């Protein structure tokens, strides 16, 4: 399977049917934009906006907490993040992945797809995008 440097994905467990993700081979774990994070009884609830052009359109999400981890970003700063497990759909690929939750409102992409989400033998073409099909936010 070959993917481009960014791809459309779906996260059906979180009711997200279309989301542009930046493929990041330098990141171990995937990351999803999350705001207004609350925790109760082992469940993390949060809001996400998948379309950077319409940040006020949010989706309410919740998932069991899988873990909490110290994550170091590309700028060298570390912070503690909640980790969830969720289903990723990317073209014909469907698998459960780990995802950290972080406010990415200042970022161009609301999701980073880290290398742990890749299938063995998956290749990234850094000059291509949307090799696994295009979607829209509507």
Instruction: Look up the pTM and report it.
Output: 0.91
Is pLDDT at 75 greater than 80 in this prediction?
no
Q: Is 69 exposed, middle or buried (0-12, 13-18, 19+ CB in 10 A)?
A: middle
Query: Which is higher by pLDDT, 7 or 120?
Result: 7
pLDDT bucket at 111, cuts 50 / 70 / 90: very high
Pairing of strands 93-102, 30-33: parallel
Domains parsed from the chain with CATH numbers: 2-121 (2.40.70.10)
Consecutive H or E run containing 10: strand 6-11
């Amino acid at each position: 399977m070959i993917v481009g440097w960014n791809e459309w994905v779906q996260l059906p467990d979180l009711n997200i049917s279309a989301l542009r993700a930046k493929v990041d081979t330098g990141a171990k774990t995937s990351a999803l934009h999350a705001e207004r994070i609350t925790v109760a009884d082992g469940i993390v609830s949060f809001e996400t906006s998948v379309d950077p052009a319409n940040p006020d359109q949010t989706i309410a999400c919740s998932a069991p907490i899988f873990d909490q981890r110290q994550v170091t970003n590309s700028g060298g700063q570390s912070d503690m993040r909640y980790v969830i497990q969720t289903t990723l759909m990317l073209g014909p690929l469907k698998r459960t992945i780990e995802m950290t939750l972080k406010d990415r409102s200042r970022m161009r992409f609301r999701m980073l797809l880290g290398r742990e989400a890749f299938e063995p033998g998956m290749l990234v073409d850094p000059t291509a995008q949307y090799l696994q099909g295009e979607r829209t936010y509507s």
